[in-house]
Amino acid sequence: MTSLAQKLSGIVGDAFEAQGLDRAFGRVTVSDRADLAQFQCNGAMAASKAAKKNPREVAGGIVEILQKNTVFSKVEIAGPGFINLNVTDAFLAGHIQETGADDRAGVPDLGHNETVVLDYGGPNIAKAMHVGHLRAAIIGDAVRRIMKFAGYNTLGDVHMGDWGTHMGMLIYNYIARNETAVVENTDLSDQKSIDDLMEDMAERYPRSAAAAKEDKHLMELAQAATVKLQNKEEPYYSLWEKIRKVSVKGMEKNYTALGVHFDLWKGEADVHDYIAPMVDDLRAKNFAVESDGAWIVPVAQNDDKKEMPPLILYKRDGAVMYGTTDMATIVERVKLYNPAKMVYVVDQRQSLHFEQVFRAVRKGGIVRDDVELTHAGFGTMNGPDGKPFKTRAGGVMRLDDLITMAQERARARMDEAHVGEGMSADEKADIAHKVAIAAIKFADLQNARVADYVFDLDRLTSFEGKTGPYLLYQAVRIKSLLKKAEYDGKPPAFSLQDVDRPLALLLTELPDAVESALKNYAPHHLCEYAYRLAQGFSSFYGNCHILSETDVVLRNSRLALCALTNAQLELVLGLLGIQVPERM
Ligand code: ARG
């Protein structure tokens, strides 16, 4: 199955080929002037050079062929050589009939058994998760869902930051102050005990980091502790293990609340044993060189337009760096999973880091040339003041606080709109949670990935406009309509009238939206589609009779359109990681 535009591209491509021209010129898209035509092909302009004719002449030859095809109800040349196309209602009805019968709503399963590793976590252990982790999780999880649906074997890895100087610094503080019992006595089966340690670390880490910044000797001790930890010396390592276990519990709680899934719960530390052999190999091949006591991989190229510093493998004191663990992680991923692609959904501000890492692993022959390495970077989430999002007091907003705030806001909005009246407290809380997460996710995902955006809780929880709650509301409305109609899901032949056609045409576009999202790691294409679909349904619903339609054929046809809209909307929201409540 394909989109209708793709199907037509095949037909128009044949016509170009019959004229001795490349069939790629026959690409058909949805018309950008819906008032003039349903579809258009601009290929005659591009083909005119190859054909050595003027564009209108080329278009004329194509149009003559297409006019004989009963698929089209209108074939016209417009302007300098655009070809405008309408299809017959019978052809359109046939296409959506097929789409409705397909359990993938017309989206092809690429079914290639390729593995993709996706990296979209990155929280550091011992620290509370904050809003900075939100975008990676939301976008990365959506990209994972989209790739999985397209047929990839996907592996999402949380890739915790658990091996850097921040750990040495924290553990050194516990040891130096004789307070290791705070960690050792933490009871992993007791939430209160876990929360207490998290609070202690949240307060202790910034304090020790600030002190080390002031005191060179203290900094050296913290760095020495990092090296000892990385050599797995005791008691550093045991303390670290405990801290990591406690931190994972906190992360799981946050990711579960967001509905974000990971297949792998690995961290930087897990690849430690790959580092020494990797560096040995890079040294043997002369890719790693010594510089001032440190070991580095030069990655600059002659045609670089900006400065490209070398990647540091080992610092002078022997500690490993961020780039080292990312390289070793690639070594491990290649060995364990042999992925065709590795995709990093990480803040755009880390683009230099990924450029260095990708160059270094390519240079070192750690990945095959045909393996794709992508940094799918994202922009900053700003507050209504246009600056990076903060709490009222100006601090970093914790992720769990943000989720609670959104739930409270969602609850207030529901009360205003009389949503959930007469429901049990549990069901209401469940709906408020779904509305809150839909609001947060849709507000984030609807932006082009690299763009910055303003996080405005008031706007994004509204039940009107381009928001998550609006989409949920429409989806629930269609569901309840189908329930009321006792629709049995067996579509008859579609019968299309003027009021039905716009929605029917829209329903043929889903495969193209999925393809764009997939190709560019860009979920916003699906947000756009979901919003247009919700709006398209809303006008359809307002313009025609459905339940009260007395013509049985027409009534069934309209119910079938509603059912297909519902199926596509739920599918798309699912790919975005947004859950639709049963009722609202
Ligand atoms: N822990 C890192 C940070 O806080 C993010 C990790 C992103 N993923 C990666 N493979 N480098 O900045």
Q: Where are the domains of the chain?
A: 4-87, 165-258
- Mean pLDDT calculated for residue range 142-167: 95
CB atoms near residue 17 (< 10 Å): 14
Which pair of structure tokens corresponds to residue 524? 């916003």
- The C-alpha atoms of residue 268 and residue 341 are separated, in whole angstroms, by 19
Which pair of structure tokens corresponds to residue 333? 């991923």
Cβ-contact 240, 328 below 8 angstroms: no
Confidence of residue 289 (pLDDT cuts 50, 70, 90): very high
Mutate to test the pocket of ligand 1, among 350, 351, 361 (most ligand atoms within 8 A of CB): 350
Which pair of structure tokens corresponds to residue 214? 């002031």
271 CA distance to ligand 1 middle (Å): 14
204 CA distance to ligand 1 middle (Å): 22
- Phi, psi (5° rounding) for residue 392? -55, -40
- The C-alpha atoms of residue 187 and residue 432 are separated, in whole angstroms, by 32
Which pair of structure tokens corresponds to residue 107? 């989206």
The answer, yes or no, to whether residue 305 has pLDDT greater than 70, is yes
Report the predicted TM-score, pTM, of the whole model to 2 decimal places.
0.95
- The C-alpha atoms of residue 330 and residue 374 are separated, in whole angstroms, by 12
The answer, yes or no, to whether residue 28 has pLDDT greater than 70, is yes
73 DSSP assignment = E
| Nearest-atom index, ligand 1, CA of 346 | 7
| Nearest-atom index, ligand 1, CA of 136 | 7
| Nearest-atom index, ligand 1, CA of 268 | 10
Cβ-proximal residues to 464 (8 Å cutoff; 6+ apart), any chain: 470
- The C-alpha atoms of residue 164 and residue 367 are separated, in whole angstroms, by 25
398 CA distance to ligand 1 middle (Å): 18
Confidence of residue 1 (pLDDT cuts 50, 70, 90): low
Mutate to test the pocket of ligand 1, among 125, 157, 311, 346 (most ligand atoms within 8 A of CB): 346
In the chain, pLDDT over 70 holds for what percent of residues?
Answer: 99
Name which residue sits closest to atom 8 of ligand 1, judged by CA.
122
156 CA distance to ligand 1 middle (Å): 14
- The C-alpha atoms of residue 578 and residue 475 are separated, in whole angstroms, by 12
The answer, yes or no, to whether residue 431 has pLDDT greater than 80, is yes
The answer, yes or no, to whether residue 344 has pLDDT greater than 90, is yes
Confidence of residue 105 (pLDDT cuts 50, 70, 90): confident
- Mean pLDDT calculated for residue range 521-543: 97
**Whose CA is closest to 313, among 348, 270, 357?**
357
419 CA distance to ligand 1 middle (Å): 40
How many angstroms separate the first and last alpha carbons of the chain?
Answer: 34
The answer, yes or no, to whether residue 542 has pLDDT greater than 90, is yes
pLDDT of residue 165: 87
87 CA distance to ligand 1 middle (Å): 50
161 CA distance to ligand 1 middle (Å): 6
The answer, yes or no, to whether residue 318 has pLDDT greater than 90, is no
Q: Which residue has the tokens 């032949």?
A: 493
152 CA distance to ligand 1 middle (Å): 24
342 CA distance to ligand 1 middle (Å): 14
- The type of residue at 104 is R
Which pair of structure tokens corresponds to residue 261? 């899934």
Quickly list H helices, 290-419: 322-337, 351-363, 399-416
The answer, yes or no, to whether residue 561 has pLDDT greater than 70, is yes
| Ligand 1 cavity residues, CB under 6 Å | 119, 122, 124, 159, 161, 326, 344, 346
Half-sphere exposure for 409 (CA within 13 Å, toward CB): 21
Which pair of structure tokens corresponds to residue 263? 């297949």
pLDDT of residue 491: 65
Which pair of structure tokens corresponds to residue 185? 């006595």
267 CA distance to ligand 1 middle (Å): 10
Quickly list H helices, 74-232: 89-101, 134-149, 165-176, 181-184, 191-214, 216-230
- Mean pLDDT calculated for residue range 423-429: 94
User: How many Å is the Cα radius of gyration of the chain?
Assistant: 28
Cβ-proximal residues to 197 (8 Å cutoff; 6+ apart), any chain: 182, 183, 186, 243, 246
- Phi, psi (5° rounding) for residue 162? -135, 15
423 DSSP assignment = -
The answer, yes or no, to whether residue 184 has pLDDT greater than 70, is yes
- Mean pLDDT calculated for residue range 405-426: 92
The answer, yes or no, to whether residue 541 has pLDDT greater than 90, is yes
- The C-alpha atoms of residue 169 and residue 171 are separated, in whole angstroms, by 6
| Nearest-atom index, ligand 1, CA of 124 | 1
Name which residue sits closest to atom 11 of ligand 1, judged by CA.
326
- Mean pLDDT calculated for residue range 402-426: 93
- The C-alpha atoms of residue 117 and residue 157 are separated, in whole angstroms, by 7
Which pair of structure tokens corresponds to residue 568? 């596509």
- List, edge to edge, every strand of the sheet that includes 153-157: 153-157, 115-119, 341-344, 372-375
Mutate to test the pocket of ligand 1, among 118, 119, 131 (most ligand atoms within 8 A of CB): 119
Q: Which residue has the tokens 């907003």?
A: 397
- Mean pLDDT calculated for residue range 365-380: 97
| Nearest-atom index, ligand 1, CA of 322 | 11
Mean pLDDT score of the chain, rounded to an integer? Answer: 94
**Whose CA is closest to 296, among 352, 366, 360, 355?**
360
Partners of residue 82 on adjacent β-strands:
78
Strand 153-157 relative to strand 115-119: parallel, antiparallel, unpaired? parallel
Confidence of residue 317 (pLDDT cuts 50, 70, 90): confident
The answer, yes or no, to whether residue 536 has pLDDT greater than 80, is yes
- The C-alpha atoms of residue 226 and residue 68 are separated, in whole angstroms, by 76
- Per DSSP, which regions of 217-356 are E strands? 289-291, 294-297, 311-314, 341-344
Least confident of 15-19, 390-394, 534-538: 390-394
Give the CATH architecture of domain 4-87.
2-Layer Sandwich (3.30)
